[in-house]
Amino acid sequence: MKHPITYLFAILVIFAFLSGHVVAETFEGRQKCSSCHKAQGKSWRSTAHAKAMESLKPNVREEAKIKAKLDPAKDYSKDKDCVGCHVDGFGKKGGYAIDKPRRQVAAVGCESCHGAGRKYRGEHRKGGQAFERSGKTTERKVLADRGQDYHFEESCNACHLNYEGSGWKGAKPPYTPFTPEVDAKYTFKFDEMVKDSKAMHEHYKLDGAFVGEPKFKFHDEFQASAQIAKEDGAADEEDED
C-alpha cells in the first residue's frame, strides 16, 4: 500500500495544475488593453462586435429576430442561452457573469479574439519598454505561452459555427440562432470575415517589438496596409469607463 504522503503529493500536483490553468484563463477587461492600444480600442468601438450586447435588448434587430424565430419584444440580455457569445469570457474567471455584469467584458471585446490577457499583458509592457530603450525584440512565443492567441480561427468558430451541422467539431448547446439555414448571409468564412472591417478593428502599424512564430497568417498583409496611429491619446480615445 502506498504511503498517504504519496496521495497528498498527487493531490497537490493536481491542484497546482488546475489552479495554474485557471490563472491562465483570467480575463482583464478591455480598458486594460485599450489604455495602451488606443487606436485599436477606438476603432473597435464602432464595430458590430462592440454592439453585441445591444442586440440582445428588446425591440432592436426585430426583423432578424423574427426571421430566426425569436421574440423581438423579449429582453435576452440576461438569458444564459444568449449572453455567452455576446460577451468576453462568459463563466470564466474575470469574464462576464449574468449576476455580476462587468461593463469592461460586456460585448465581444479584445480578449474574445486575442485570449484572456491577465498573464500576457505584462509581457507587452516589458517587451515594449525593452524595444524602446535598446531596440531589443521579444519572441512572440513568450506571449503565446502566456495565452495570447495567434490563430484566431478556433475562437471565431466557437461563436460563429456553434450550431448543429456546421461541421465545427466543438459545437454544443446553446447554439447560435443565426445559421445559414435562417439566411445565407450568416455563413461564416474565416478568411473573408477576418478582413471585414464592419466587425474587425482597423489595423495600425506596429514598431516590431515582438518577432518570430507564432505569427498570424495575414499579419504581414495587414501590416503592409496598416494605418499610422495618432499618438496624442486625447480624452475621447479613453474607453467608456
Instruction: Note whether 53 and 77 are within 8 A (CB).
Output: yes
Phi-psi region of 167 (alpha: psi -120 to 50; beta: other; left: phi over 0): left
- Residue 81 CB-density burial (10 A; 0-12 exposed, 13-18 middle, 19+ buried): exposed
Instruction: Note whether 225 and 202 are within 8 A (CB).
Output: no
| Binding positions for ligand HEC, 172-211, rule CB under 6 A | 174-178, 186, 193-194, 196, 198-201, 203-204, 206-210
Binding span for ligand HEC by CB under 6 A among 15-23, 92-100, 150-158, 230-238:
150-158
Dihedral over Cα of 168, 173, 178, 180: its sign: positive
Question: Is residue 26 a contact residue for ligand HEC (CB under 6 A)?
Answer: no
Angle, CA of 95, 101 and 103, to the nearest 5°: 85
Return the number of the residue (14 or 36) whose C-beta is nearest ligand HEC. Answer: 36
Binding span for ligand HEC by CB under 6 A among 8-16, 40-48, 96-104, 230-238:
40-48
Question: Is residue 76 a contact residue for ligand HEC (CB under 6 A)?
Answer: yes
Q: Beta strands 138-139 and 210-211: pairing type?
A: parallel
Return the number of the residue (2 or 191) whose C-beta is nearest ligand HEC. Answer: 191
Residue from 114, 144, 147, 166 in contact with ligand HEC (CB under 6 A): 114
Task: Using DSSP, state whether 211 is helix, strand or coil.
Answer: strand
Cα separation, 151 vs 27, in Å, equals 18
Residue from 112, 119, 146, 166 in contact with ligand HEC (CB under 6 A): 112
Question: Is residue 82 a contact residue for ligand HEC (CB under 6 A)?
Answer: yes
Task: Using DSSP, state whether 27 is helix, strand or coil.
Answer: coil
3-state helix, strand, coil in the chain (%, to 5): 40, 5, 55
Question: Is residue 98 a contact residue for ligand HEC (CB under 6 A)?
Answer: no
Question: Is residue 30 a contact residue for ligand HEC (CB under 6 A)?
Answer: yes
Residues that bind ligand HEC (CB under 6 A): 28, 30, 32-34, 36-37, 40-41, 44, 48-49, 51-52, 55-56, 61, 64-65, 70, 76, 79, 81-82, 84-86, 108-114, 117, 121, 124-125, 128, 140, 152, 155-156, 159-160, 162, 174-178, 186, 193-194, 196, 198-201, 203-204, 206-210, 216, 219, 222
